[in-house]
């Protein structure tokens, strides 16, 4: 687990000396704006890493995007505007939560579809099961056979 | 010669695995008892030869025999001995050999510990294990051979990535593999049952301990991996919905459902289709996980296309076993008639709901993990499915699951009284609600945190209610309560403990909402506030390690009255690879942790630092330990009765019908 | 020797399969199982009944169902009679023939039975001239572990480490030499150079201090003077760099091999471009030449590693292999070159023409064909 992140980390470390994902210089002085920036950053992926958000990534590209986000927040842009800008620039690939469109219909529909299918399957199974008789008590022959079976040898 | 003998042992193991598949099957299908009876001996022989091969490879690593390509590529003569040994599975070929070693070990364990099994079932199970061994030994020998040689031998190996030289990472793969491969046994049992057509409570009884063993290891393996990521990545993240993590979570979800399903089948002869389906599914997901991690398909679909040999091989194995078991499944559908009938509201019904929710969660993880790969392969379109997707889609399932969990153990078999159970759970509900309200009022934070705490309390208290009612409530004094609690079967203790452990983990997860984070530039001889603590950065010191230089920062953590802990986060600089690695300073205080990591030493002596206070965070992994311990308790119960050592007493007669 | 071991192993494997054939048939546990399991189920049902998890009527039904299952199991367990004989004999024969055939057949294709183990310790202990440079290094290293005060060993290794890019070890070795032997101009200069290499070609304050010390001890140490100039150039003081270097060239003995390098440096810093003189070509070349020498070395190592990686996956590339082998020989990494040659042979197994080109190059470079 996390091996890929590791490889990613290792590769990045070779290129750049280790810097923390978010460095103190990047942090905005207004805590509310900073919190918004952090929340927003966790929605975008680092384009050169495996499954890391830009909030977690050490790559310089991630840092650039973080800086863009913070500048835009300070400039008074809304989250939606910033997201639109980044998607226009890097494509849907940058979004960690893919948008709902034709290509992802199946993805977003999957959980509901699975529950529906399973419920259908179980309803079917129940219908078949209904009407099955309850077990009658053992008859004499069975009792005798059981007694023979259970007799200590 | 040792190396070549090891290579030959691996070839012999393949020959034995093929024998292990064919001879017992010939025995059971051809009606020859003696052939069927040979199965255990063959399985143990196969294990011995795989172990010999593994030992030979380990030997080559330990003595730095660089004429073995695998050693040359992954070992370094100056590494500490322990990492030479763990380095054997720190690479593709070696880890596949470990996979097969564990498979053979389970095969031998089945052979050794199943004397009470009906002979044909035993022979068929061992044959199925042999078939799995055949497939993977073929893969190793033909596509991933660790015994290939180099001539002339280089004088030094390629240094192992320093990040891989970590005790946590060293133990993690074997634990995870024990879990993954442990489910091969349940798979083999399912396939054997389908072949013989005997799918009944006796079968379930024998499957249950193996399911438990695999589940315990997988639980520990996942927790271990998560803790490793937590302390090594430098900012305290512990779960990322990374495909490699998902690969281990998928079989865990299916395996957990299987665990519950097997109990129903053993007791009530019900949920047969579910149980067989889950047994096949769980191991298939283990195989899928192996494919995802080992084929390189995750790194990039493109890279996979360039050198697809290994990936395609594992994919073929995967398809063969899934397809084969599905075909068997269809062939034996008639033998899977439901046995004991039950009302929707009943213990059985609750467990069906459990299976449904866990399977749906599992399917969501599978689809979320594979969707980007499939989409890219089919249309070339690239999308990302990351944590926000998984959190959003899985939350509803998890919510229903947690709400329903305390009900399960209290519901009666066949038909239950939901209202009565709800009344018994009133205390848990009240306490949970109170906890949520109190925390929301006093701590604030994101809404999810107090809600999570409330749910966790509901689950933890709810898990105690069954035990409480069975022991203390019915007793007059301490002595009789103790006697009664001794009388409770260990499997009941185990089940409730496992549920409780899940609640404990949930509590740890919920508390992350109240974490404190400070990303600041710190200067020596300065004090910084961190949640309830004062962290003072005293000074920096340097030290040379075996193959790195280390810069330590000395920090003391104090509360209002005095120093409570010393933390020494550091940066290690590996000059040979020009690589920095941060070593976080972690100190557990009151179940929470102070977590500090540093980077970027500046000319003026200041450093970039991340300071965290993570309240109750250790509960995340303690909960997993509790779950595993619950499993262990349950296992000890099952094992006591597995042998059916005592013969039936005559009193049984009057109990019948 | 090896063959007798392999035969013994095969015999062991056969024993594991065939031994149970010779033993009598044990009772199938299935029959006893039916009654025992029934008992266990009845006990469990009773416990559930007491815990109010099942009512009395349902408990009766459950017991009846369990009883019928137990009876059916006991009946079927008695069914399968022994049908011994032919099948067993045929199977035993097939195993005895096919198992060794498969094992030896497959091993003959993929194994290397004639190749002995080659542990590092044994190679270090072995005497003779056939050991390559890296083995010699390892031998000296082992010697130094035993006698850590042997300054000659460190003097031997330090420059080799630096050339092989094992920079950190070079720094440590020079530091050790200074401790053991005391200060001297050349050692201080070499130590400074190693520090520069460690810092990717940047003359750090620490390195500069070492060069200053070297010049205090030996005022005309050429290496220290060169790096003083480089430090000036890196800090942007071109004028000082040029004056230092020009003075260095002026005072150089006529046969000094490094004069051309310093002249090239002067030309580069003063802005006149010189034509390419070997080294990497193409758009990267200018960038590489602009780097300090230690960084160039690192860069070249990186490029070689990249090429080597590419050839691992796309091996049918005779020109690539030739480039790799030539580079490795230039870098004096002859044993890596030999490994590359061996790999090339495997990768070009289907490309005989390509292989002969590579082979010819190897002979020209004095590498023996494996």
Contacting residues of C for B77, CB less than 8 Å apart: 120, 138
Same domain as A58, residue A133: no
With CB atoms and an 8 Å threshold, state whether B413 touches C26: no
Q: Which of C6, C40, C117 sits opposite B641 (nearest CB)?
A: C40
Q: Are strands B526-530 and B533-544 parallel, antiparallel or unpaired?
A: antiparallel
Same domain as B331, residue B192: yes
Please report the sign of the dihedral spanned by the C-alpha atoms of residue C139, residue C145, residue C147, residue C151.
positive
Contacting residues of C for B32, CB less than 8 Å apart: 82-84, 87-88
Same domain as A112, residue A78: no
With CB atoms and an 8 Å threshold, state whether B241 touches A22: no
Cα–Cα distances in Å, from C266 out to C199, C227, C296, C306? 22, 13, 17, 32
- Least confidently predicted of B449-458, B465-474, C296-305: C296-305
pLDDT at B473: 73
Mean pLDDT computed over every residue of chain B: 86
Same domain as A65, residue A26: yes
Give the whole-angstrom CA distance, residue C230 versus residue C220: 16
Q: Which residue(s) pair with B565 in the sheet?
A: B557
Cα distance from C256 to chain B (closest Cα, Å)? 31
CB within 8 Å of B423: residues ≥ 6 apart: none
* Chains near C (3 or more Cβ pairs under 8 Å): A, B
User: Would you say residue C276 has pLDDT above 60?
Assistant: no
Cα distance from A142 to chain B (closest Cα, Å)? 10
Closest chain A CA to residue C67: A146
**DSSP-assigned states of every residue in B463-502:** HHHHHHHHTTTT-SSHHHHHHHHHHS-HHHHHHHHHHHHH
Cα–Cα distances in Å, from C38 out to A103, A137, C31? 55, 16, 11
| Number of cross-chain residue pairs from A and C with Cβ atoms under 8 Å apart | 28
The backbone torsions φ and ψ at residue A124, rounded to the nearest 5 degrees and listed phi first, read -60, -45
Same domain as B309, residue B260: yes
How sure is the predictor about B160, in pLDDT bands with cuts at 50, 70 and 90? low
Last residue of a domain, one of B132, B165, B198: B165
With CB atoms and an 8 Å threshold, state whether B37 touches C17: no
How sure is the predictor about C127, in pLDDT bands with cuts at 50, 70 and 90? low
Top pLDDT among C310 and B44 is at B44
Please report the sign of the dihedral spanned by the C-alpha atoms of residue C168, residue C174, residue C179, residue C183.
negative
Cα distance from B200 to chain C (closest Cα, Å)? 9
Residue A16's domain is classified under what CATH number?
A: 1.10.8.640
Give the whole-angstrom CA distance, residue B456 versus residue B512: 13
Contacting residues of B for A98, CB less than 8 Å apart: 383-385, 389
Cα distance from A77 to chain B (closest Cα, Å)? 22
pLDDT at B626: 96
Burial of A32 per CB tally in 10 Å (0-12, 13-18, 19+): exposed
Is residue C344 within 8 A of residue C323, CB to CB? The reply is no
Give the whole-angstrom CA distance, residue A130 versus residue B473: 38
Same domain as A85, residue A106: no
User: Would you say residue C278 has pLDDT above 60?
Assistant: no
Give the whole-angstrom CA distance, residue C17 versus residue C33: 27
Query: Which of B9, B3, B49 minimizes the C-alpha distance to C115?
Result: B3
Q: Which CATH architecture has domain C132-269?
A: Alpha Horseshoe (1.25)
Same domain as A89, residue A132: no
Helix or strand (DSSP H, E) at B435: helix B426-443
pLDDT at B364: 93
pLDDT at B655: 40
Contacting residues of B for A103, CB less than 8 Å apart: 375, 379, 381, 383
How sure is the predictor about A18, in pLDDT bands with cuts at 50, 70 and 90? very low
pLDDT at C79: 55
The number of distinct structural domains making up chain A is: 2
User: Would you say residue B504 has pLDDT above 70?
Assistant: yes
- Least confidently predicted of B163-172, B504-513, B605-614, C266-275: C266-275
Helix or strand (DSSP H, E) at B586: strand B585-589
Burial of C85 per CB tally in 10 Å (0-12, 13-18, 19+): exposed
With CB atoms and an 8 Å threshold, state whether C106 touches B14: yes
User: Would you say residue C279 has pLDDT above 50?
Assistant: no
User: Would you say residue B211 has pLDDT above 90?
Assistant: yes
With CB atoms and an 8 Å threshold, state whether A135 touches C64: yes
With CB atoms and an 8 Å threshold, state whether A137 touches C60: yes
Same domain as B551, residue B627: no
Is residue B364 within 8 A of residue A110, CB to CB? The reply is yes
B400 three-state secondary structure:
helix
Please report the sign of the dihedral spanned by the C-alpha atoms of residue B378, residue B381, residue B382, residue B387.
negative
With CB atoms and an 8 Å threshold, state whether B384 touches A96: yes
Neighbouring CB atoms inside 10 A of A126's CB total 16
Cα distance from B643 to chain A (closest Cα, Å)? 17
User: How confident is the model over B567-583, as a mean pLDDT?
Assistant: 77
Same domain as B520, residue B508: no
How sure is the predictor about B403, in pLDDT bands with cuts at 50, 70 and 90? very high
User: How confident is the model over A96-119, as a mean pLDDT?
Assistant: 87
pLDDT at B338: 67
Give the whole-angstrom CA distance, residue A32 versus residue C109: 68
Which residues 131-170 of chain B have a CB within 8 Å of chain A? 161, 163-164
Give the whole-angstrom CA distance, residue A146 versus residue A151: 8
Neighbouring CB atoms inside 10 A of C267's CB total 12
Contacting residues of C for B267, CB less than 8 Å apart: 41, 44, 48
Q: Which of A4, A93, A108 sits opposite B298 (nearest CB)?
A: A4
Q: What is the pLDDT of residues B213-253, one digit of tens each?
A: 999 999 999 999 899 888 887 777 888 888 888 889 999 99
How sure is the predictor about C141, in pLDDT bands with cuts at 50, 70 and 90? confident
C175 three-state secondary structure:
helix
Same domain as A69, residue A117: no
Mutate to test the interface with A, among C31, C35, C63 (most CBs of A within 10 A): C35
Cα–Cα distances in Å, from B129 out to B109, B173, B248, B274? 11, 21, 21, 22
Please report the sign of the dihedral spanned by the C-alpha atoms of residue B76, residue B80, residue B85, residue B87.
negative
Contacting residues of C for B141, CB less than 8 Å apart: 106, 110
- Least confidently predicted of B46-50, B190-194, C157-161: C157-161
Give the whole-angstrom CA distance, residue C154 versus residue C148: 9
Give the whole-angstrom CA distance, residue C163 versus residue C100: 52
Q: Which of B244, B571, B578 sits opposite A3 (nearest CB)?
A: B244
Question: What radius of gyration, in Å, describes the C-alpha atoms of chain B?
Answer: 27
CB within 8 Å of B384: residues ≥ 6 apart: A45, A51, A92, A93, A94, A95, A96, A98, B372
Mutate to test the interface with A, among B388, B415, B644, B653 (most CBs of A within 10 A): B388
Same domain as B559, residue B491: no
Give the whole-angstrom CA distance, residue C316 versus residue C304: 17
The number of distinct structural domains making up chain B is: 4
User: Would you say residue B382 has pLDDT above 80?
Assistant: yes
Same domain as B483, residue B348: no
Residue tagged 């052939």 (tokens)? B35
Contacting residues of B for C305, CB less than 8 Å apart: none
Q: What is the pLDDT of residues B107-126, one digit of tens each?
A: 999 999 888 888 888 999 99
Give the whole-angstrom CA distance, residue B452 versus residue B443: 13
Residue B390's domain comprises 170-398
C259 three-state secondary structure:
helix
Is residue B54 within 8 A of residue B97, CB to CB? The reply is yes
Give the whole-angstrom CA distance, residue B126 versus residue B45: 12
CB within 8 Å of B284: residues ≥ 6 apart: B187, B318, B321, B322, B325
Q: What is the pLDDT of residues B322-357, one digit of tens each?
A: 899 889 888 887 777 766 678 788 888 899 899 999
Closest chain B CA to residue A148: B653
Q: For residue A34, give both structure tokens.
A: 């900073």
Is residue B31 within 8 A of residue C80, CB to CB? The reply is yes
Mutate to test the interface with A, among C64, C70, C301 (most CBs of A within 10 A): C64
C-alpha triplet B620, B626, B627: angle, nearest 5°: 90
The backbone torsions φ and ψ at residue B581, rounded to the nearest 5 degrees and listed phi first, read -135, 130
Same domain as B286, residue B199: yes
Same domain as B282, residue B183: yes
Q: Are strands B585-589 and B579-583 parallel, antiparallel or unpaired?
A: unpaired
Q: For residue B76, give both structure tokens.
A: 């370094």
User: How confident is the model over B485-505, as a mean pLDDT?
Assistant: 90
Q: Which residue(s) pair with B607 in the sheet?
A: B522, B601
Q: Terminal CA-to-CA distance of chain B, rounded, Å?
A: 67
Cα–Cα distances in Å, from B424 out to B41, B410, B463, B482? 53, 9, 12, 22
pLDDT at C83: 54
Cα distance from C31 to chain A (closest Cα, Å)? 9
Same domain as B442, residue B539: no
Residue tagged 């004056």 (tokens)? C243
Is residue B583 within 8 A of residue B598, CB to CB? The reply is no
Which of C221-224's residues contact partners 24+ apart within 8 Å by CB, and which partners? C221/C185, C221/C186, C221/C189, C222/C248, C222/C252, C222/C256, C222/C258, C223/C186, C223/C189, C223/C190, C223/C192, C223/C193, C224/C185, C224/C188, C224/C189, C224/C192
CB within 8 Å of A105: residues ≥ 6 apart: none
With CB atoms and an 8 Å threshold, state whether B152 touches C342: yes
Same domain as A27, residue A74: yes
pLDDT at B164: 67
Cα distance from C167 to chain B (closest Cα, Å)? 7
Same domain as B599, residue B575: yes
User: How confident is the model over B144-156, as a mean pLDDT?
Assistant: 82
C202 three-state secondary structure:
coil
Q: What is the pLDDT of residues B555-567, one digit of tens each?
A: 999 988 888 989 9
pLDDT at B624: 96
Same domain as B434, residue B351: no
Quick one: what percent of chain C has pLDDT higher than 70? 84
Same domain as A18, residue A76: yes
Give the whole-angstrom CA distance, residue B493 versus residue B480: 18
Q: What is the pLDDT of residues B55-82, one digit of tens each?
A: 999 999 999 888 899 888 888 777 788 8
- Least confidently predicted of B391-395, B402-406, B473-477, C286-290: C286-290
CB within 8 Å of C146: residues ≥ 6 apart: none
Query: Which of B160, B34, B50 minimizes the C-alpha distance to B107?
Result: B50
- Least confidently predicted of A94-108, B299-313, C179-193: B299-313
Burial of C168 per CB tally in 10 Å (0-12, 13-18, 19+): buried
CB within 8 Å of B301: residues ≥ 6 apart: B373, B376, B377
Is residue C73 within 8 A of residue A149, CB to CB? The reply is no
Cα distance from B636 to chain C (closest Cα, Å)? 16
User: How confident is the model over B384-393, as a mean pLDDT?
Assistant: 90
Q: Which of C60, C64, C70 sits opposite A149 (nearest CB)?
A: C70
Top pLDDT among B543 and C101 is at C101
Cis upstream peptide for B152 (omega within 30°): yes
Which residues 263-292 of chain B have a CB within 8 Å of chain A? 273
Residue A127's domain comprises 102-150
Q: What is the pLDDT of residues C48-71, one digit of tens each?
A: 888 888 888 888 888 888 888 888
* Chains near A (3 or more Cβ pairs under 8 Å): B, C
């Amino acid at each position: 687990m996390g091996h890929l992140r590791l490889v990613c980390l290792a590769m990045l470390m070779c290129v750049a000396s280790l810097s923390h994902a978010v460095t103190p210089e990047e942090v905005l002085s207004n805590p509310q704006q900073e919190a918004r920036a952090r929340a927003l950053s966790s929605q975008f992926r680092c384009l050169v890493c495996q499954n890391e958000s830009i909030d977690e990534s050490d790559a310089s590209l991630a840092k650039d995007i973080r800086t863009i986000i913070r500048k835009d927040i300070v400039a008074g842009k809304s989250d939606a505007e910033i997201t639109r800008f980044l998607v226009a620039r890097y494509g849907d690939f940058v979004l960690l939560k893919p948008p709902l469109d034709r290509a992802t219909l199946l993805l977003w529909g999957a959980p509901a579809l699975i529950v529906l299918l399973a419920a259908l399957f179980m309803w079917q199974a129940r219908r078949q099961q209904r009407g099955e008789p309850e077990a009658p008590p053992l008859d004499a022959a069975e009792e005798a056979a059981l007694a023979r079976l259970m007799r200590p040898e | 010669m040792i190396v070549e003998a090891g290579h030959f042992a691996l070839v012999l193991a393949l020959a034995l695995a093929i024998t292990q598949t064919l001879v017992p099957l010939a025995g059971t299908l051809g009606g020859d008892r003696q052939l069927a009876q040979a199965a255990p001996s063959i399985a143990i022989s196969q294990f011995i030869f795989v172990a010999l091969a593994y030992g030979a490879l380990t030997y080559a690593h330990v003595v730095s025999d660089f004429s073995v390509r695998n050693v040359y590529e992954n070992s370094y003569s100056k590494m500490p001995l322990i990492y030479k040994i763990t380095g054997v599975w720190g690479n593709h070929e070696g880890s596949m050999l470990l996979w097969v070693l564990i498979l053979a070990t389970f095969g031998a364990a089945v052979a050794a510990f199943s004397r009470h099994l009906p002979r044909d079932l035993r022979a068929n199970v061992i044959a199925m294990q042999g078939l799995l061994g055949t497939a993977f030994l073929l893969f190793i020998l033909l596509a991933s051979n660790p015994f290939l040689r180099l001539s002339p031998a280089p004088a030094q190996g390629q240094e192992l990535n320093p990040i891989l030289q970590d005790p946590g990472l060293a133990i993690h793969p074997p634990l995870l593999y024990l879990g993954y491969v442990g489910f091969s046994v349940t798979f083999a049992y399912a396939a054997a049952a389908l072949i013989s057509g005997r799918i009944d409570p006796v079968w379930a009884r024998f499957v249950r301990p193996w399911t438990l063993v695999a589940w315990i290891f997988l639980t520990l393996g996942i927790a271990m991996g998560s803790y490793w990521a937590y302390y090594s990545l430098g900012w305290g993240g512990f779960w990322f919905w990374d495909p490699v993590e998902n690969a281990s979570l998928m079989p865990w979800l299916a395996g957990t459902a299987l665990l519950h399903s097997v109990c129903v089948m053993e007791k009530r002869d019900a949920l047969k289709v579910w149980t067989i389906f889950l047994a096949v599914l769980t191991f298939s997901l283990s195989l899928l996980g192996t494919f995802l991690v080992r084929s390189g398909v995750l790194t990039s679909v493109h890279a996979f296309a360039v050198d697809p040999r290994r990936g395609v091989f594992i994919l073929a194995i995967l398809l063969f076993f899934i397809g084969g078991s599905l075909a068997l499944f269809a062939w034996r559908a008639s033998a899977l008639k439901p046995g004991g009938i039950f009302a929707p509201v009943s213990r059985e019904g609750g467990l069906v709901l459990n299976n449904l929710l866990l399977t749906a969660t599992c399917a969501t993880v599978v689809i979320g993990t594979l969707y980007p790969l499939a989409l890219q392969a089919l249309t070339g379109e690239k999308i990302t499915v990351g944590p926000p997707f998984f959190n959003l889609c899985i939350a509803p399932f998890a919510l229903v699951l947690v709400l329903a969990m305390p009900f399960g153990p209290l519901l009666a078999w066949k038909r239950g009284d939901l209202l009565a159970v709800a009344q018994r759970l009133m205390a848990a509900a009240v306490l949970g609600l109170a906890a949520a309200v109190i925390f929301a009022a006093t701590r604030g934070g994101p809404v999810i945190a107090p809600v999570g705490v409330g749910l966790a309390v509901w689950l933890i208290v709810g898990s105690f209610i069954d035990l409480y009612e069975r022991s203390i409530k019915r007793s007059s004094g301490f002595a009789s309560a103790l006697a009664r609690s001794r009388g409770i079967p260990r499997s009941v203790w185990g089940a409730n403990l496992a549920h409780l452990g899940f609640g404990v983990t949930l509590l740890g997860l919920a508390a992350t909402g109240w974490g404190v984070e400070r990303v600041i530039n710190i200067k020596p001889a300065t004090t910084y506030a961190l949640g309830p603590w004062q962290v003072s950065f005293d000074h920096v010191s340097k030290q040379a390690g075996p193959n790195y230089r280390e810069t330590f920062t000395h920090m003391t953590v104090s509360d209002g009255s005095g120093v409570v802990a010393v933390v020494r986060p550091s940066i290690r600089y590996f000059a040979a690879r020009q690589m920095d690695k941060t070593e976080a300073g972690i100190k557990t205080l009151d179940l929470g942790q102070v977590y500090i990591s540093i980077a970027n030493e500046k000319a003026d002596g200041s450093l970039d630092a991340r300071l965290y206070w993570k309240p109750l965070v250790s509960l995340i992994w303690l909960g997993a330990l509790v779950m595993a311990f619950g499993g262990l308790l349950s296992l000890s119960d099952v094992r006591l009765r597995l042998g059916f050592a005592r013969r039936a007493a005559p009193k049984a007669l009057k109990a019948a019908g | 020797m090896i063959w007798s071991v392999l035969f013994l192993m095969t015999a062991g494997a056969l024993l594991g399969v065939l031994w149970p054939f010779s033993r009598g048939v044990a009772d199938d546990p299935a029959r006893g199982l039916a009654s025992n399991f029934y008992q266990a189920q009845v006990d469990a049902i009773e416990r559930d009944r007491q815990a109010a998890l099942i009512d009395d009527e349902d408990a009766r039904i459950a017991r009846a169902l369990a009883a019928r299952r137990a009876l059916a199991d006991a009946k079927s367990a008695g069914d399968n009679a022994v049908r011994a004989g032919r099948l067993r004999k045929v199977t035993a024969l097939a195993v005895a023939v096919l198992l060794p055939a498969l094992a030896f057949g497959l091993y003959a294709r993929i194994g290397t039975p004639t190749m002995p183990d080659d542990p590092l310790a044994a190679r270090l202990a072995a005497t003779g001239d056939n050991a390559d440079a890296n083995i010699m290094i390892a031998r000296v290293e082992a010697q130094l572990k035993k006698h850590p005060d042997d300054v000659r060993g460190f003097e031997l290794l330090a420059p080799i480490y630096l050339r092989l890019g094992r920079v950190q070890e070079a720094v440590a070795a020079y530091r050790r030499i200074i401790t053991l032997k005391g200060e001297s101009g050349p050692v201080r200069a070499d130590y400074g150079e190693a520090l520069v290499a460690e810092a990717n070609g940047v003359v750090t304050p620490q390195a500069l201090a070492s060069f200053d010390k070297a010049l205090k001890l030996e005022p005309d140490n050429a290496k220290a003077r060169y790096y003083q100039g480089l430090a000036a150039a890196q800090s942007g003081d071109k004028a000082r760099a040029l004056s230092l270097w020009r003075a260095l060239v002026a005072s150089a003995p006529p046969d000094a091999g490094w004069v051309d390098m310093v002249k090239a440096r002067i030309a580069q810093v003063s802005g006149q471009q010189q034509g390419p003189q070997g080294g990497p070509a193409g758009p990267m070349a200018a960038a590489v030449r602009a780097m300090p020498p230690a960084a160039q070395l690192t860069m070249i190592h990186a490029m070689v590693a990249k090429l080597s990686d590419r050839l691992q996956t796309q091996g049918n590339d005779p020109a690539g292999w030739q480039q790799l082998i030539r580079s490795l020989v230039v870098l004096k990494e002859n044993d890596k070159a030999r490994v590359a040659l061996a790999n090339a042979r495997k990768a070009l197994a289907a490309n005989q023409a390509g292989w002969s080109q590579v082979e010819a190059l190897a002979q020209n470079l004095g590498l023996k064909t494996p």
